[in-house]
Amino acid sequence: MLQTILKYSLLVLAALSFIYPFIWMLSASLSSESSLGELTLLPVDFTWNNYVTVFTKIPLDRAFLNSALVAVLTTGLVLLSGAMVGYALARLDFVGKNIIFYLIIFTMTLPFQITLIPNYITMVKLGWVDTYLALIVPFALNSLSVLLFRQAFQSLPQALIDAARIDGAGELRIIFQVLIPNIFPTVLTITILTFMGLWNEALWPLIVIRDESTMTMPQLVTLFSVGGRAEGQLGVKIAAAVMLAIPIVVLYLFFQKHFIRSMASSGLKD
Amino acid sequence: MKKWMPYLLVSPYLLHFSVFVAFPVVFSVVLTFHSWNIISPMKYVGLANYRHLIHDRLFWQAVWNTVRFLIVHIPLQILVALTLAELLNRTVRGASFFRAAFFLPVIVSGVVVTILWQQLLSYNSGILNRLLTTVGMARVAWLDDPAVAMYSIAVMATWKNVGLYIILFLVGLQSVPVQLYEAADLEGATNWQKFRYITLPMINPTIFTVVVLSTIGGFSLFVEPYIMTEGGPMNTTLSAVMYIYRQAFQYYHMGYSATLGFCFALIILFVVIIQRRYVEQEV
Amino acid sequence: MIFRLLFVSVLISSCHREQSTDQPITFWCSNNAGEITFAQQQTERWKKLHPDKPLRYQPIPEGQSSEEIILASVVGKTTPDIYANMWQGNVEMYAKAGVLIPLDTLTGFREFIAARCDSAVIREITSSDGHIYQVPWKVNPIMLFCNIPALSALRSAQPPYTYSTYLEAGRQFRQDKNGDGYVDQWLGYTEVKAIWYQRLFNFYPLYLAASNGAPLIKNNKAAFNNQYAIEVFRFLQTLYKNDYFARERLSATRDPFLAQRIATQFTGPWTVSFLDKFKDPGFDYGIYTMPVPDGHQGPVYTYGDPKNIVIFNTCRDPQTAWEFVKTLIDKEGDRQLMELTNQFPRRKHVDTDPFFATFLANNPRLKPFAQQSRYIKGVDNCEVIVEVFDIISQEYEACVIFNKKTPEAAIADAARAVDVLLGTN
């Protein structure tokens, strides 16, 4: 009995310490400046002002569209390229297949610190600085998704492919019409991982995007928080942070289980 | 199937690999032997960048900062994650609620978490200091005291990531065969003995994963110090990536910045290899 | 798909570079509302005078900092013809990279500049190779803003200040108003972050004030290892040691100066319109020269935060570009600059020239800045000036903020590090 009480009080305490800061953030963003710093559950002096100010100071709506565009397009490309490469590695035989597999492993262990500066210079030389291309193309393929697709395709029976071949389907049709529907969980995992990673990425946009109309949300919110445009007003910064958090939290509330499983599978890659 | 078909299918990979992995790696090595501010022509400087790096107080400071970060972050991460996973692994009502709650900071952008914690930790008006003063303790300059700032960031990073590791540990714990515990019960083992001699060895690979991911995370730290402290006070929160960023985009020392990136990468690989050795010996 | 993307983008970027013949001269201005209006009016004026020489203005793309945008455009070879707003400290780097036009090679430049500026300014903007790559344009002198009602109660500690009267003001003004054991009312606050440019708003103007405008770098060596720099460090260190200045970041509910949590601040003319817009009734402030050492002789210098005009070598008709710059900064242009932006032209006798008298009469708050503009400095012409300020910043943090070093040791260490830096370059 005592153990049970202890167990639940520990869990509740932990849960509170993870949830309460978010609740505080939400109510602080809806409170007047002078009541910030209160330990509160509900907004004090309720006001929308902070949000109004955020939208007049920075083009957050535009940044939202940029983020959404970049995340959706890139996720699509990652699925496309991952499925193609993963399929070839899983089901086809060709010279150099093993080399490619090892290159992928190598890429995954390579710290990004090495490639950061040269990649920036590539962007500059291609004239992609301040364009969506700089945000999309470098992320259009990722090693983890290739490996996950490879694993998923390997688990499927050869008969599925053979039957499709007899019907005269080409390889692309086999991949995208016959096989993909059978590995939906993997597709979902990759979608979630890629989308979340892109939505939250702040470092790379900071490096390649200087034009405010092309900035993504995390970048804009970071700059807003570091720079002087908030004029030292905390509530406004917090409101900007809330706006950045809301889309992904909403998605999380809908696809909670999938989020957790996807993240766990990325953690288990070693 | 045409013979070239497999190559067509892997061509996106090859293209991407050569532009965004192979070229940068080669170019990075070349850059480390040059001095270059992007707008003037590159100048070959031999090993000067490496010589400079050895004597660069800030490079070693960044390494030391990362070490200080990891010393707090890794044990705390494992302790909290393992405890909560252990609790969740017993039959618990509302387990999925708790899991979802712990996982919330994981999915949110580091930018959000950092802005949030910056307010919680503020010296003059932060909630944490309010709590301290209400119970009669002195305020702490969480982010402005050189002796404290990096540990504040380490605790914050733990808060952000621990949900993921709880899940990983849960997976690990659930994979321990129940028979082992039953056998131990027959022999009259205490809870602690069961944990020490059955659970811990069985989840060793998960611990290794946590250690490796945290190490890489420590060397990738950027948004947190960038927003909260800009590397200060007294450079005590200057992280590896922040220093690379500063050299490249504040001073335009592209060659030196690449050298930093290269050396940090070597350190990461070295540390991870050592960790792997150590874990293999343990098992 | 990726192929196609790549291909299309390569096409786009190559097209982008070809459309170049017979383009109008492009002029990038700053992107705040006042300066955009100014650029627009000046462009209109030019079009009337020279309908045959097309010219268009464009606000610099908004981003994190204009420096980085200029750098990116230099690398991408998409620089404008004229850029008005380059921080003086950045000019030398671009000049050395060979992307700027040496303006003294253009007809009429030397005469014009000699008429506009005095010899000290001309010396300041002359590059180490003897050429001039920038036109001195506008300044924003850093001065001391004081909350008059708040300070009026203090005994023998009224502005303008010397170090000892300022410290005395700090002693009397510092308070723990709510009695929780922590100071919550300070004499002042100035950014404590070690990032280099913050020193332009505290250490550097104080150093210029104390030293009558001495350089930091001379003959490619550190020139600041002197009593002035040491005294500035000791002055600031004392302010922090005694809690006269707030050391922790003041995340106040609103601007601490307006909220009267501090009574003085070091800042520039841009603050005037901000204060007038947000101040409470009864709030009043005055603008004074920077605090100086006791027994200071001569005028009080400060940092002017100069922004200058450059012409990039991508310009196909530099002479015409220069003609435009000339109209941009003639008396008429300068008066419009003041009216539209509240910033000051860097020209001789702004405070006494009758041409500008009406403006100053209408804007009495700005008068101190006009007078101060006689005694301002920019930064030394040094390719690595950013790193020099960064080195000083590091020592500043250790000595002034955290009291880990004596001012003497901190300045000596900074000077040594700067010498090493300049020696390797």
Q: Give pLDDT tens digits for A37-67.
A: 667 778 888 889 889 988 888 889 999 999 9
Does residue A97 sit at the B interface (CB-CB below 8 Å)? Answer: yes
Give a yes or no: residue A237 inside a domain.
Answer: no
Does residue C255 sit at the A interface (CB-CB below 8 Å)? Answer: yes
Whether residue B209 has pLDDT greater than 90: no
Average model confidence (pLDDT) for chain B? 90
C-alpha to C-alpha distance for A252 and C362, rounded to whole angstroms: 58
Residues of A in contact with C250 (CB under 8 A): 232
Confidence class for position B227, pLDDT limits 50, 70, 90? confident
| Interface residue of C15, C60, C64, C65 to substitute, partner A, most A CBs within 10 Å | C64
CB contact under 8 A, A80 and C251: no
> What is the C-alpha end-to-end distance of chain C, expressed in Å?
46
Give the mean pLDDT of B98-104. Answer: 91
Give the mean pLDDT of B117-126. Answer: 85
Does residue C178 sit at the B interface (CB-CB below 8 Å)? Answer: no
In order of A111, B44, C315, the CA distances from B41 in angstroms are 28, 10, 21
Whether residue C20 has pLDDT greater than 50: no
Whether residue C19 has pLDDT greater than 90: no
| Interface residue of B35, B250, B251, B254 to substitute, partner C, most C CBs within 10 Å | B250
Give the residue among B191, B159, B188, B209 at the shortest CA–CA distance from B89.
B191
State the CATH architecture for C143-303+381-424.
3-Layer(aba) Sandwich (3.40)
| Interface residue of B17, B35, B40 to substitute, partner C, most C CBs within 10 Å | B40
CB contact under 8 A, B115 and A238: yes
CB contact under 8 A, A232 and C62: no
pLDDT at C250: 72
pLDDT tens digits along B47-87: 999 999 999 999 999 999 999 999 999 999 999 999 999 89
Of B21, B110, B114, Cβ closest to residue A115: B21
Residue with tokens 């880990």: C404
- CATH, domain range B55-282: 1.10.3720.10
CB contact under 8 A, B250 and C250: no
CB contact under 8 A, A113 and B220: yes
Does residue C62 sit at the A interface (CB-CB below 8 Å)? Answer: yes
Does residue B141 sit at the C interface (CB-CB below 8 Å)? Answer: yes
Residues of C in contact with A141 (CB under 8 A): 2
pLDDT tens digits along C260-293: 889 999 999 989 988 988 888 899 999 999 999 9
Query: Which domain range does residue A180 map to?
Result: 59-217+246-267
Give a yes or no: residue A121 inside a domain.
Answer: yes
Å between B41 CA and nearest CA of chain C: 8
Å between B109 CA and nearest CA of chain A: 5
| Interface residue of A4, A10, A106, A113 to substitute, partner B, most B CBs within 10 Å | A113
Residues of A in contact with C68 (CB under 8 A): 210
Does residue C68 sit at the A interface (CB-CB below 8 Å)? Answer: yes
Of B16, B124, B233, Cβ closest to residue C402: B233
C-alpha to C-alpha distance for B275 and C297, rounded to whole angstroms: 65
Give a yes or no: residue A231 inside a domain.
Answer: no
C-alpha to C-alpha distance for C169 and C155, rounded to whole angstroms: 8
pLDDT at A269: 46
In order of A134, A210, C66, C380, the CA distances from C71 in angstroms are 17, 11, 9, 20
Confidence class for position C3, pLDDT limits 50, 70, 90? very low
CB neighbours of residue B259 within 10 Å = 28
Whether residue A15 has pLDDT greater than 90: yes
Report the complex ipTM.
0.88
CB contact under 8 A, A203 and B126: no
Give a yes or no: residue A212 inside a domain.
Answer: yes
| Range of A212-226, B225-239, C206-220 with top mean pLDDT | C206-220
C-alpha to C-alpha distance for C39 and C54, rounded to whole angstroms: 15
Domain ranges of chain B: 55-282
CB contact under 8 A, B109 and A202: yes
Chains sharing 3 or more CB pairs under 8 A with chain C: A, B
CATH of the domain at A166: 1.10.3720.10
Pick the CATH number of C23-133+307-345 from 1.20.1250.20, 3.40.50.300, 2.60.120.260, 3.40.190.10: 3.40.190.10
3-state SS, residue C77: coil
Å between A5 CA and nearest CA of chain B: 11
Å between B133 CA and nearest CA of chain C: 9
Domain ranges of chain C: 23-133+307-345, 143-303+381-424
pLDDT tens digits along C325-377: 999 999 999 999 999 998 999 998 888 999 999 999 999 999 999 999 999 99
pLDDT at C64: 55
Cβ(A251)–Cβ(C271) below 8 Å: no
CB contact under 8 A, C248 and B141: yes
Residues of C in contact with A214 (CB under 8 A): none
pLDDT at B230: 86
Give a yes or no: residue A238 inside a domain.
Answer: no
3-state SS, residue C269: coil
Of B12, B119, B251, Cβ closest to residue C387: B251
Does residue B94 sit at the C interface (CB-CB below 8 Å)? Answer: no
Task: Give percent of chain C above pLDDT 90.
Answer: 66
Whether residue C251 has pLDDT greater than 80: no
- A·B CB contacts under 8 A: 249
CB contact under 8 A, B130 and A244: no
Residue C253, Cα to own-chain centre: how many angstroms?
Answer: 27
pLDDT tens digits along A170-225: 888 999 999 999 998 899 989 998 999 999 998 899 888 877 788 999 999 988 88
Answer with the residue of higher pLDDT: C233 or C281. Answer: C233
Give the residue among C314, C320, C310 at the shortest CA–CA distance from C53.
C320
Whether residue C12 has pLDDT greater than 50: no
Whether residue C77 has pLDDT greater than 70: yes
pLDDT tens digits along C103-150: 999 999 999 999 999 999 999 999 989 999 999 999 999 999 999 999
Cβ(A75)–Cβ(A140) below 8 Å: no
Cβ(C243)–Cβ(C183) below 8 Å: yes
pLDDT at C10: 41
Task: Give percent of chain A above pLDDT 90.
Answer: 49
Q: Which two tokens stand for residue A162?
A: 């053979």
pLDDT at B136: 87
CA nearest A107 in B: which residue?
B21
Q: What is the DSSP string of A215-265?
A: --HHHHHHHHHHSSTTTT-HHHHHHHHHHHHHHHHHHHHHSHHHHHHHHHH
CB contact under 8 A, C401 and B12: no
Q: Which two tokens stand for residue B85?
A: 């996973």
Per the structure, how many domains does chain A have? 1
Length of chain C: 425
CB contact under 8 A, C71 and B39: yes
Does residue A126 sit at the B interface (CB-CB below 8 Å)? Answer: no
pLDDT tens digits along A77-129: 999 999 999 999 999 999 989 999 989 988 887 888 888 889 988 998 888 88
Q: Which two tokens stand for residue A135?
A: 């945000």
Of C93, C251, C384, Cβ closest to residue B122: C251
C202 contact partners, CB below 8 Å, separation of at least 6: C190, C191, C236, C266
Residue A17, Cα to own-chain centre: how many angstroms?
Answer: 24
pLDDT tens digits along C44-56: 999 999 988 899 8
| Interface residue of B37, B134, B227, B229 to substitute, partner C, most C CBs within 10 Å | B37
- Asked, colleague to colleague, whether C23-133+307-345 and C143-303+381-424 share their fold, the answer is yes
Whether residue C5 has pLDDT greater than 60: no
